[in-house]
Amino acid sequence: MDNKDQIGSGISPGISVGHYRIIREIGSGGMGEVFLAEDTELGREVALKFLRSDICRDEACRVRFKREAQTAAKLSHPNIVTIYEVSEYRERPFLVMEHVEGRSCQELIKRDDMDIEKIIDFTRQISEGLQEAHDNGIIHRDIKPSNIVIDSRGRCRLLDFGLAAVQGTEKITRSGYAIGTAGYMSPEQVNGEEADQRSDIFSLGVVLYEMITGRQPFIKDAGAATLHAIVSEQPE
C-alpha cells in the first residue's frame, strides 16, 4: 500500500466508514480527498468526499457544511451530481455522492478534446443544471472545469454545490488555493460581496471562454494579479 492510499487521516482501502467500504482514492484537491466506496446496505458504488481537517476546524464550520450539503441534496436534475448523505468520520465532514464514471471538463480542455459541437452541448447542459439550482435558490459559487464531469454518453454533471461557502474568504487568501480557482471568480466575489445567480453565470462564461480558447481570460502569474485583472481589465 503506497502513501497515496493512506492519506486522509486513516482513510484507506478496505476500511469501513459506517456502512461504506472504501475501495480506492479517486481524486484529491484543495477541498479534500474523494474515495470510491461500496454502500454495503444498498449494494452500489458511491463517492465519498472528505473535507480537509484544516478547512472545518470548528463546530460552526461543520454546521455550515452540513447545512449547505442538505440544501444541495434537495436538487434532483440530470446535470447535477446527486448528494445522498452528509456525515462525519473522526471529526472530518464528508459527503456521500453519486459516483459518475467519466472525465472532468478540465481534463478534456487539457487534452484539447473540444470541438464547437461539444462546447455548445456542454454549455447548454451546465446552464440547465444551474437553472435548476437557481430556481431553487441555490448558488454554486465555484463553477470551474474541475467541478464539471462528463460521462461516457456525453452527459455533464455539476459537482460541489455550496461547498465554496464553507471556506469563506480562505479561498482568496489560502496559499496554493487562490491561484487554482481565482480565475473563475466573479468581480463581486473578488470584492468580498455576496454571490448570487449572476456570479455563477459569470463563472460559466469563464469556463466557456476556456473551452473555446484553451486558456482562462484573466489568468496571471500570481493569484493577486488574477483577482486584480478580473475587476479592472478586459479578457485577453
- Residue partners of 51: CB distance under 8 A and separation at least 6: 31, 32, 65, 92, 93, 94, 163, 166
Q: How far apart are CA 174 and CA 61, in angstroms?
A: 16
Contact 95, 49 (CB under 8 A): yes
Cα–Cα nearest to 33, from 22, 44, 43: 22
Residue among 39, 142, 160, 200 flagged as catalytic: 142
142 tagged catalytic: yes
Q: How far apart are CA 13 and CA 228, in angstroms?
A: 43
Helix (H), strand (E) at residue 221: none
Q: How far apart are CA 25 and CA 182, in angstroms?
A: 26
Helices (H), 27-184: 59-72, 105-110, 116-135, 163-167, 170-173, 178-181
Catalytic site residues?
142
